């Protein structure tokens, strides 16, 4: 069965600084990988997804993620964070790209932005 590990439960970053959130997955075949963001009291919003092709994926709100097969990782990055980026971030893996199958989520990383 597939699994997702987000090693960092909390991360604190100063506003304007760069950000990297880690995600490692375990899956036997080529994975479909996702990053979602959850603001307090809200549902989840898709930031970006990787299915195949270019290993560097661009998403919304200035986020990007890089798929590294050799490291089984799909880390999320942003060059300069804004206070509005404070939220919970979830990495997820899907068998069929999420459309027709359920997703397996990591436990999430809580991002705190310092002024």
Partner 1 sequence: DAGVIQSPRHEVTEMGQEVTLRCKPISGHNSLFWYRQTMMRGLELLIYFNNNVPIDDSGMPEDRFSAKMPNASFSTLKIQPSEPRDSAVYFCASSLGQVGNEQFFGPGTRLTVL
What is the contact surface with partner 1 in residues (CB under 8 A)? 32, 36, 41-46, 49, 51, 90, 92, 96-108
Q: How far is the CB of 59 from partner 1 (least distance, A)?
A: 11
**Chain centroid to CA 108: how far?**
9
Say how far apart CA 34 and CA 48 lie, in whole Å: 6
Do the bridges between strand 10-14 and strand 109-114 make them parallel or antiparallel, or are there none, so unpaired? parallel
**Chain centroid to CA 76: how far?**
5
The residue (of 30 and 80) whose beta carbon lies closer to partner 1 is: 30
The residue (of 6 and 13) whose beta carbon lies closer to partner 1 is: 6
Q: How far is the CB of 43 from partner 1 (least distance, A)?
A: 4
Q: How far is the CB of 44 from partner 1 (least distance, A)?
A: 4
The residue (of 25 and 36) whose beta carbon lies closer to partner 1 is: 36
Q: Among 2, 66, 7, 14, which residue's Cα sits nearest to residue 35?
A: 66
Residue 72 DSSP symbol: T
């Amino acid at each position: 069965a597939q699994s997702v590990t987000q090693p960092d439960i909390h991360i604190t970053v100063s506003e304007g600084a760069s950000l990297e959130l880690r995600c490692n997955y375990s899956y036997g075949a080529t994975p479909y990988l996702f990053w979602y963001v959850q603001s307090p009291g809200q549902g989840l919003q898709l930031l970006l997804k990787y299915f195949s092709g270019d290993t560097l994926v661009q998403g919304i709100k200035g986020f990007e993620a890089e798929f590294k097969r050799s490291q089984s990782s799909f880390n999320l990055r942003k060059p300069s964070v804004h206070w509005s980026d404070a939220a919970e971030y979830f990495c997820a893996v899907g068998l069929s790209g999420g459309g027709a199958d359920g997703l397996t989520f990591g436990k999430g990383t809580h991002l705190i932005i310092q002024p």
